[in-house]
Structure 1
Amino acid sequence: MTSGPSLGLRARLLFAFALLCAVTAAAVAGGLYVQARNDILERTQDAALKATKERLETLFPLRTPAPDRIELGAIAATMVEGNSYALAVYREEYVEAGPPPGPPPTAPGGGRPDRNGPLLSSETVSADLRRTVAAGEIAWQRVVREGTPFLIIGAPLVTVEQDRSRVSGIEVYTARSLYPEQRSIDWLATRAWLFGGAAMAFAVVVALLATRSVLRPVRELGRAARLLGEGELRTRIAVRGSDELADVARTFNDTAAELERHVTQLREMEADARRFVADVSHELRTPLAALAAVAEVLDDEAVRLPGPAGKAARLVTQETLNLTTLVNDLIEISRFDSGVAALSLNEVDVTELVPATLRVRGWSDAVRTELPASATARLDPRRVDVILANLVGNALRHGEPPVSVRLTADPHWITFEVRDHGPGLDASVLPHAFDRFYKASAARARSEGSGLGLAIALENARLHRGDLTVANAPDGGALFTLRLPRWAADPDGASA
């Protein structure tokens, strides 16, 4: 299961800052809006209630406890103040009084808010408000009429008899437009959101600057780590400030310096080891040449020497040859390690090279070949001969017959397959088959090979820009596969 592409660190930091600022701005703007709205409406309601009570006081004493329609109109007119409206109710009589003549009150659509009918009537005053007022309490409610908010206040008229007050049954209702207050609230809301948006934009700018200052050291650290991984051991990071990122930069620099020191020591030790092997190998060639000449004489005389002496002579001859092979292989390996090994390319028919390799070493009868009619390639015949000799020799020594060599070719590659029909290689041995001096078991510590043959074969394959691999064949036995470019590049890089 694959996941989609994730946001980068910069995008995530910006998103987090923006989200935090948005939440903060919304909370602050919303809180200010609610607080301001409540304060404005409460002050308006308190002022309207106070004015209503003052108007009610002017109605006492009542002229009659059972007013007619004209008297209800007078009561309603007395409750009108400014652009407010009033409604006087007695039993089923409803009389409304409006503001005095003059400019119409301001409303969102223009014109009078009650242009489509009376503002206060039995339909616009809720039943709950009527019940509360009829019970002798002053109550209020907010309603919206044609887009304009109004505050409706209801109050009962009471009569006093023998120091006792009772509800007269007359109810008065006033309606005051809250449009100016609504405009103030809307203005506050707009300003709150504008300031919130400005604060959010400012926070995003601050976040950009902050992420830039934070991510710049991170990017530098990533670039330095890549360079260090590519082998630029002198890579260092400029340390700025004294915060945690500066501590990381200092730690990186200390680690890089320590790594450079260790790698330099290892390279010096490796160079000393290579130089030592090369020097020793070259120094051994001269005495070995003399030993080889003596060994040939001893080998010729071994048949005429007594039993133990003849056996000793043959042992000296064999060990001299083994030591000569080891020294030659060490010299060859030292050339690869020092980078002086080079190809001597020639155009040859590989189908003739394979039989020649087997014939020179006397393996023609012991090895089966499967070759095409012709396969011309440009390669170094001496080095290919060394590869094949090491692979076939290894199969003859450590595998079981029959040993075979199979050659295939396509327009770009030639492939050699060398296999035997023995038990194959153990799974733990396969990864180390081309390691230098690697022995599959202690019992093979005194085998005839130098322990460098397969390593030299692999180096020669790589020198051709090819590859050499080993695996166990499905039907048993070890299978070595050598792939070489059919037209190898010249040492100067030009292809033939």
Structure 2
Amino acid sequence: MRRTLRFAAPCVRRLRFTGLRMRLAAAFTAVALLASVLASGISYVLLRRVMLQRAQDAVLNDVRATLAQQVPPDLPPDVEPLVEVALEDALSSEPGRKATAVPVPVLGHGGPGLPPPGLLDVPVTSEFARRAMRGVVFQRVDRNGTPYLLVGARVSTWPAPAEPWRTTPPMVFVSASLRREAADLALFTRTLLIADAAALAAALALALLATGGVLRPVRRLGAAARALGEGRLDTRVRVQGRDELADLAETFNRTAEALERTVTELRAMEAASRRFVADVSHELRTPLTSMIAMTDVLAEEAAEDGGGAAARLVADETRRLGTLVEHLIEISRFDAGAAALVLDDVNVADAVGATLEARGWREDVAVEGPADLFVRLDPRRFDVIVANLAGNALKHGLPPVSLRFGRPEGEDAGGVRVVVADRGPGLPADVAPVVFDRFVKAEAARTRSEGSGLGLSIARENALLHGGTLEAANGPEGGAVFTLWLPDGTAEELL
């Protein structure tokens, strides 16, 4: 049954600040923020320019119109004070404005007149007054945090030296407060900031929604890939839409189908191969038993007649073939999952001694360990493990071969720890990583050797069946060292 993943696993959906979604959302938000700030800045500059220009034009037009209305083309003598009062009243009528009119001295009799301090909101400098004598001038001044527009003007030029009796129109200075415009700009600035903040929040929300929709198929693909890697070859993803992600999902599904088909075929072939090995081994077992018995009898009879070398060779090879068949049968049980433990309370010292005694290795292996150590394990499989380790050390190592057993140091699980070491050349660098693989031999270049290449593999399978471990390494003084640990089977039975 195929399973289709519709959304990613919860552990993948958590928000990660370094993830692709956050990077896309940050980029989207940054672009939106940049556009919003740019638009707000342009709007602020344009509005400020329009507002100040409007206020400035209003004051300048008012000054020009007032001068045109209040000052006649030809002033009679001694009317300058009256004109000054009329100009001040007309130009000060608007809120926020202050105006003053000062007389202009005759050319050659001093500089322009300046208004006394306090008459205007901002002081008038001599330079500004000189500029005002040539026409209408203005400038924006900031005083105590309040902006002002200062205007200076004069209607006519200096009187001719030949007509000193004619009255000269006074100079006019006007200070107009721009407080209202500044308040309007501040309000507009706050409005822009609020709008930018709202736009930023909306952009972030939209970015998260958009990236979530884009990355959701990617998360589904990631979850499906993990499920496929865990061995669930029937995993598929749901294809939505017609975009690139949909094409990727279809490609993933096709790849998964091909992988499932290939793995199924390989598993079927492997299962058939294992069944073939198991069936052939079982079929060979019965005739080989008879052949071993008969070749032993023929070897004994040939030895009594004074020969028998050929017969003994046939008997040895037949016995070796029988051992190989037994190993293949044992391996087939592990592959089929039919191997089981038959636990019993075992005295480790007695079990190790019996194993070595049965194979004639008692004098060749130095045994060290407590005599009263009892562990609950499968005695037959323990015998197979010890025999394979000791036999491997005797065949491929050099004496002395030692076997030490006891309780594991620092292990709360208990059980037994067995260490088999020799003084031989040790494990070659290319063999050490695969020493427990099947049909691996230290002398791989030789076409024939006494071992089957299955002994260490069977030993490790028996250790794993107990829930233990079997490790191989080279000793500090040379030689190979095999370390076996088997737990106490009592705790496993109680579970």
TM-score, length-normalised on structure 2?
0.86
Code of the residue aligned with 1:447 in structure 2: it is S
Structure 1 residue 61: Cα displacement: 3.0
Match of 1:106 in 2: none
> CA 1:52–1:463 in structure 2 vs 1: closer, same or farther (change >3 Å)?
same
Structure 1 residue 294: Cα displacement: 1.1
Tell me, what secondary structure is at the counterpart of 2:102?
strand
> CA 1:79–1:159 in structure 2 vs 1: closer, same or farther (change >3 Å)?
farther
Match of 1:400 in 2: 398
Match of 1:11 in 2: 22
Tell me, what secondary structure is at the counterpart of 1:236?
strand
Mean alpha-carbon deviation: is it higher for 344-353 or for 246-255?
A: 246-255
2-side partners of 1:10 and 1:65: how far apart?
85
Structure 1 residue 388: Cα displacement: 0.5
2-side partners of 1:479 and 1:76: how far apart?
114
Mean alpha-carbon deviation: is it higher for 249-258 or for 268-277?
A: 249-258
Match of 2:420 in 1: 418
Q: Deviation per CA, 1:2-25: give whole Å up to 9, x if none.
A: xxx853333333333333322222
Match of 1:484 in 2: 486
Code of the residue aligned with 1:54 in structure 2: it is A
Structure 1 residue 232: Cα displacement: 0.9
Structure 1 residue 92: Cα displacement: 7.0
Find out whether 1:356 has 2:354 as its counterpart.
yes
Structure 1 residue 120: Cα displacement: 1.2
2-side partners of 1:146 and 1:464: how far apart?
91
Code of the residue aligned with 1:482 in structure 2: it is L
2-side partners of 1:62 and 1:201: how far apart?
67
Tell me, what secondary structure is at the counterpart of 2:152?
strand
2-side partners of 1:65 and 1:402: how far apart?
142
Structure 1 residue 295: Cα displacement: 0.9
> CA 1:12–1:443 in structure 2 vs 1: closer, same or farther (change >3 Å)?
closer
2-side partners of 1:322 and 1:169: how far apart?
138
> CA 1:67–1:8 in structure 2 vs 1: closer, same or farther (change >3 Å)?
farther
Match of 2:327 in 1: 329
Question: Pick from 58, 66, 85: which aligns with 2:98?
Answer: 85
Code of the residue aligned with 1:55 in structure 2: it is T
Code of the residue aligned with 1:86 in structure 2: it is A
2-side partners of 1:376 and 1:433: how far apart?
30
Find out whether 1:314 has 2:312 as its counterpart.
yes
> CA 1:331–1:131 in structure 2 vs 1: closer, same or farther (change >3 Å)?
farther
Mean alpha-carbon deviation: is it higher for 168-177 or for 382-391?
A: 168-177
> CA 1:389–1:62 in structure 2 vs 1: closer, same or farther (change >3 Å)?
farther
1-side partners of 2:284 and 2:471: how far apart?
33
The count of residues paired between Structure 1 and Structure 2 equals 461
The Cα RMSD (Å) is: 2.6
1-side partners of 2:171 and 2:112: how far apart?
11
2-side partners of 1:383 and 1:223: how far apart?
42
1-side partners of 2:79 and 2:139: how far apart?
26
The answer for unaligned runs of 5 or more in structure 1 is: 97-116, 163-167
Match of 2:60 in 1: 49
Match of 1:157 in 2: 155
Mean alpha-carbon deviation: is it higher for 223-232 or for 179-188?
A: 179-188
Spell out the pairing of 1:82-481 with structure 2 (5 A cutoff).
Answer: 82-83=94-95, 84-90=97-103, 94=114, 118=118, 120=120, 124-134=123-133, 136-145=134-143, 148-159=146-157, 170-305=170-305, 307=307, 310-410=308-408, 412-481=414-483
Structure 1 residue 454: Cα displacement: 0.5
> CA 1:278–1:119 in structure 2 vs 1: closer, same or farther (change >3 Å)?
farther
The answer for unaligned runs of 5 or more in structure 2 is: 1-15, 104-110, 161-167
Code of the residue aligned with 1:85 in structure 2: it is K
2-side partners of 1:24 and 1:198: how far apart?
13
Contact 2:135 2:155 in 1 (8 A): no
Question: Pick from 63, 80, 96: which aligns with 2:75?
Answer: 63
Tell me, what secondary structure is at the counterpart of 1:290?
helix
> CA 1:387–1:71 in structure 2 vs 1: closer, same or farther (change >3 Å)?
same
> CA 1:328–1:452 in structure 2 vs 1: closer, same or farther (change >3 Å)?
same
Mean alpha-carbon deviation: is it higher for 136-145 or for 292-301?
A: 136-145
Structure 1 residue 376: Cα displacement: 1.1
Structure 1 residue 76: Cα displacement: 3.1
Q: Deviation per CA, 1:300-339: give whole Å up to 9, x if none.
A: 12313464xx221011001000000000000000000010
Q: Which has the higher contact order (CA 8 A, sep 6+)?
A: 2
Mean alpha-carbon deviation: is it higher for 287-296 or for 336-345?
A: 287-296
TM-score, length-normalised on structure 1?
0.86
Identity, % of aligned pairs?
A: 48
Q: Deviation per CA, 1:323-376: give whole Å up to 9, x if none.
A: 000000000000000100011011111121111110111100011011123211
